[in-house]
């Protein structure tokens, strides 16, 4: 057939190509979109063409008539065994099992499963972004893991990704923090005090509020720090470093690909701020208002229906979070040469970003051709439906959450494997516990709030990490029992049963799935896909004997499907930063 040997297929892209050609041949405008989608029900085939109605409307032609003409020109021989026209003008495509079989073989023999080369883009992804001298909390957990899964997916597809950890490392609070650190160092208790950031921060704030001398010193340190005083910078560095050491421990444990090199904190943009304010004034965008410098935006209105004023420099000369984000977007385009910028920040900061970016666009700092995307997410809720907090109402420290995950997973695996040694149990508990927490988050559509529920996420049933990790070990155990490894499988893959074809089709949709994740920044799409693969595998395995297949050739053929299943699940979990084990 017409497919080039050696290049694995993206079915959706292939069909898009073929149907586009047929549409043009049938007289549709050259830019009409075929809108190829995976069919939701088996009776609608494997893929459906949804773009006929739109094209027919533009032509002023009855859609079914156009559909018929398109089908006449559509050559899918060797690829599809049936093409139906349905409803008002949908075209349903049923893929040929023999073609699917060749494509599965192709995927198995390719190192990268089914990935075709993309035109690489430079993409900056802003994620994690915790604050100095503060504990990482659940909001940072979401940004960190959703951002990291997207980053890995973009890289897997061949993009050049720049990880930007927009650390909250600047602001007036540093005067107070430096003064307090100084005091603690004098008492030789700084090391201990910095073990617990919440307590450190609280104590610094109390000193600031109650001790006038301390407050005076703190304020003078802010000024000194801003003007590059060496002592203050050294103390500031110390706070930053200790925070990042702690964060790094969380990143490593979470299997998140961030490191110290990815820190591009707020302080990085500090030196750009005066010239940005001057430039915005010069462009007539910013004006003086009651001593402050303000940009009035017609796009946003306040309660009185008047244009909203966004302060970019305070009366006392201080800059704001928005000013920094304006500079930051400019820097990402000008200096990092970003072609696309993605921000993983919770939805409560949406208005803030929109204001900053409106100013960025008006000032011409980033051209419209470079998208600035806010991939927002909702909150993590407790079982009571309220924001997830400790019993005392405090924020939950990420370390404590991960420790609890480990403990709970340990209890589970101990029960299942009473014979196992302590070291293996601990390793298993970490992979399963952390995997469960990450997957619970990643598998939900990020735009909504979700309820954090230990029992659900650690269940071996349903769309959970343990279910997928277990499905993976199951395939490995089939190979162990068969006494054969993947490389030595021979003979052609033949798809005779509908369950085999269904599994094969889904396996071949790995790349389409990654493309969607890359486009929308929605790792839950990958989770749903992997879950689907595991469920289809399970039903295939139950109904189509593998180890006890009728003859050797069908045994080998079915083992090939199993091999691609294992590789797909493992690659998918890797992209989510979730580990797998050989046995559990």
Kindly list the residues in this chain that would bind ligand ARG in the complex (CB under 6 A): 126, 129, 131, 166, 168, 325, 328, 343, 345
Task: Collapse the DSSP code of 122 into the 3-class scheme (helix H, G, I; strand E, B; otherwise coil) and give the result.
Answer: strand
Helix 173-186 and helix 197-210, axial crossing angle in degrees, nearest 10: 100
Exposure of 556 in the CB half-sphere (CA atoms within 13 A): 11
Which residue number, 130 or 175, has a Cβ lying nearer to ligand ARG? 130
> C-beta of 308: minimal distance to ligand ARG in Å?
19
Which residue number, 173 or 556, has a Cβ lying nearer to ligand ARG? 173
> C-beta of 328: minimal distance to ligand ARG in Å?
6
> C-beta of 137: minimal distance to ligand ARG in Å?
8
> C-beta of 217: minimal distance to ligand ARG in Å?
26
Closest by alpha carbon to 172, among 126, 230, 215, 231?
Answer: 215
Which residue number, 96 or 126, has a Cβ lying nearer to ligand ARG? 126
Which residue number, 26 or 326, has a Cβ lying nearer to ligand ARG? 326
> C-beta of 350: minimal distance to ligand ARG in Å?
11
For 511, the token pair is 């790349």
| Residues forming beta bridges with residue 294, ordered by sequence position | 287, 311
> C-beta of 131: minimal distance to ligand ARG in Å?
5
The answer to whether 471 and 534 have CB atoms below 8 angstroms apart is yes
Which residue number, 126 or 511, has a Cβ lying nearer to ligand ARG? 126
> C-beta of 80: minimal distance to ligand ARG in Å?
47
Which residue number, 327 or 489, has a Cβ lying nearer to ligand ARG? 327
The answer to whether 305 and 284 have CB atoms below 8 angstroms apart is no
Which residue number, 266 or 500, has a Cβ lying nearer to ligand ARG? 266
> C-beta of 126: minimal distance to ligand ARG in Å?
5
> C-beta of 196: minimal distance to ligand ARG in Å?
19
For 345, the token pair is 């920040």
Distances (CA, A) of 409 to 137, 402, 425: 21, 11, 9
For 390, the token pair is 């400790």
The answer to whether 146 and 441 have CB atoms below 8 angstroms apart is yes
H/E run at residue 340? strand 340-343
> C-beta of 321: minimal distance to ligand ARG in Å?
7
Which residue number, 320 or 569, has a Cβ lying nearer to ligand ARG? 320
Please tell me the distance from the alpha carbon of residue 548 to that of residue 478, in angstroms, as a whole number. Answer: 11
Residue 331 makes CB contacts below 8 A (sequence gap 6+) with: 268, 269, 272
- Name the DSSP letter for residue 346: B
Sign of the CA dihedral running 393, 397, 398, 401: negative
Burial call 550-561: b when 16+ CB within 10 Å, e when fewer = eeeebbbbbbbb
The answer to whether 39 and 46 have CB atoms below 8 angstroms apart is yes
DSSP H helical segments within 254-380, as ranges?
273-282, 321-334, 350-362
> C-beta of 352: minimal distance to ligand ARG in Å?
7
> C-beta of 534: minimal distance to ligand ARG in Å?
34
Sign of the CA dihedral running 208, 213, 216, 222: negative
- Name the DSSP letter for residue 348: G
> C-beta of 322: minimal distance to ligand ARG in Å?
9
Which residue number, 225 or 264, has a Cβ lying nearer to ligand ARG? 264
Please tell me the distance from the alpha carbon of residue 446 to that of residue 526, in angstroms, as a whole number. Answer: 13
Which residue number, 353 or 561, has a Cβ lying nearer to ligand ARG? 353
Which residue number, 103 or 126, has a Cβ lying nearer to ligand ARG? 126
Which residue number, 295 or 573, has a Cβ lying nearer to ligand ARG? 295
| Cβ-based burial of 74 (10 A; exposed 0-12, middle 13-18, buried ≥19) | buried
Rg of the chain (C-alpha set): 28
Please tell me the distance from the alpha carbon of residue 123 to that of residue 142, in angstroms, as a whole number. Answer: 20
> C-beta of 139: minimal distance to ligand ARG in Å?
7
Task: Collapse the DSSP code of 437 into the 3-class scheme (helix H, G, I; strand E, B; otherwise coil) and give the result.
Answer: helix
Which residue number, 325 or 511, has a Cβ lying nearer to ligand ARG? 325
DSSP H helical segments within 388-421, as ranges?
398-416
Which residue number, 47 or 269, has a Cβ lying nearer to ligand ARG? 269
Please tell me the distance from the alpha carbon of residue 575 to that of residue 157, in angstroms, as a whole number. Answer: 11
For 489, the token pair is 């499988």
Helix 197-210 and helix 212-226, axial crossing angle in degrees, nearest 10: 110
């Amino acid at each position: 057939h017409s497919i080039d040997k050696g290049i694995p297929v993206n079915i959706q892209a292939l069909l898009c190509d073929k149907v586009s050609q047929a549409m043009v041949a049938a007289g549709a405008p050259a830019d009409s979109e075929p809108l190829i989608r995976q069919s939701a029900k088996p009776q609608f085939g494997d893929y459906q063409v949804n773009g006929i109605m739109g094209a027919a409307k533009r032509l002023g032609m009855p859609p079914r008539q156009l559909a018929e003409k398109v089908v006449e020109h559509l050559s899918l021989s060797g690829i599809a065994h049936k093409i139906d026209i349905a409803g008002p003008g949908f075209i349903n495509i049923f893929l040929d099992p023999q073609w699917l079989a060749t494509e599965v073989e192709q995927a198995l023999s390719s190192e990268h499963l089914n990935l075709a080369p993309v035109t690489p883009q430079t993409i900056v992804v802003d994620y994690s972004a915790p604050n100095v001298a503060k504990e990482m909390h659940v909001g940072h957990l979401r940004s960190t893991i959703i951002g990291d899964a997207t980053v890995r997916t973009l890289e897997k597809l061949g993009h050049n990704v720049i990880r930007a950890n927009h650390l909250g490392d600047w602001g007036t609070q540093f005067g107070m923090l430096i003064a307090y650190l100084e005091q603690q160092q004098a008492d030789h208790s700084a090391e201990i005090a910095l073990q617990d950031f919440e307590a450190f921060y609280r104590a610094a704030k109390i000193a600031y509020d109650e001790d006038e001398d301390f407050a005076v010193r703190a304020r003078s340190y802010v000024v000194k720090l801003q003007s590059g005083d060496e002592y203050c910078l050294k103390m500031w560095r110390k706070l930053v470093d200790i925070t990042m050491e702690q964060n790094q421990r969380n990143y490593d444990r979470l299997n998140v690909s961030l490191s110290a090199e990815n820190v591009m904190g707020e302080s990085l943009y500090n030196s750009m701020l005066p010239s940005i304010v001057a430039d915005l004034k010069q462009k007539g965008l910013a004006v003086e208002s009651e001593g402050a410098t303000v940009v009035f935006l017609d796009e946003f209105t306040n309660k009185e229906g008047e244009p909203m004023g966004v302060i970019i420099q305070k009366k006392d000369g201080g800059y704001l979070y928005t000013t920094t984000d304006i500079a930051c977007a400019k820097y990402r385009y000008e200096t990092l040469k970003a072609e696309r910028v993605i921000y993983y920040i919770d939805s409560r900061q949406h208005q803030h970003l929109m204001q900053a970016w409106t100013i960025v666009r008006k000032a011409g700092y980033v051209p419209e051709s470079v998208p600035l995307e806010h991939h927002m997410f909702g909150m993590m809720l407790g079982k009571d439906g309220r924001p997830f907090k400790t019993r005392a109402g405090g924020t939950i420290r990420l370390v404590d959450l991960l420790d609890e995950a480990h403990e709970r997973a340990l209890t589970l695996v101990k029960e299942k494997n009473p014979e196992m040694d302590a070291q293996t149990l601990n390793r298993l508990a970490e992979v399963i516990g952390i995997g469960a927490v990450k997957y619970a988050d990643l598998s939900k559509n990020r735009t909504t709030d979700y309820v954090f529920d230990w029992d659900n996420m650690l269940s071996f049933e349903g769309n959970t990490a343990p279910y997928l990790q277990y499905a993976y070990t199951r395939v490995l155990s089939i190979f162990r029992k068969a006494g054969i490894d993947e490389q030595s499988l021979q003979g052609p893959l033949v798809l005779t049963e509908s369950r085999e074809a269904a599994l094969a089709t889904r396996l071949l949709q790995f790349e389409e799935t990654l493309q969607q994740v890359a486009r929308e920044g929605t790792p839950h799409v990958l989770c749903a896909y992997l879950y689907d693969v595991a469920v289809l595998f399970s039903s295939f395995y139950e109904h189509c004997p593998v180890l006890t297949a009728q003859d050797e050739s069908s045994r080998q053929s079915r083992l090939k499907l199993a091999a691609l299943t294992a590789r797909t699940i493992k690659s998918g979990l890797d992209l989510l930063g979730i580990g797998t084990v050989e046995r559990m």
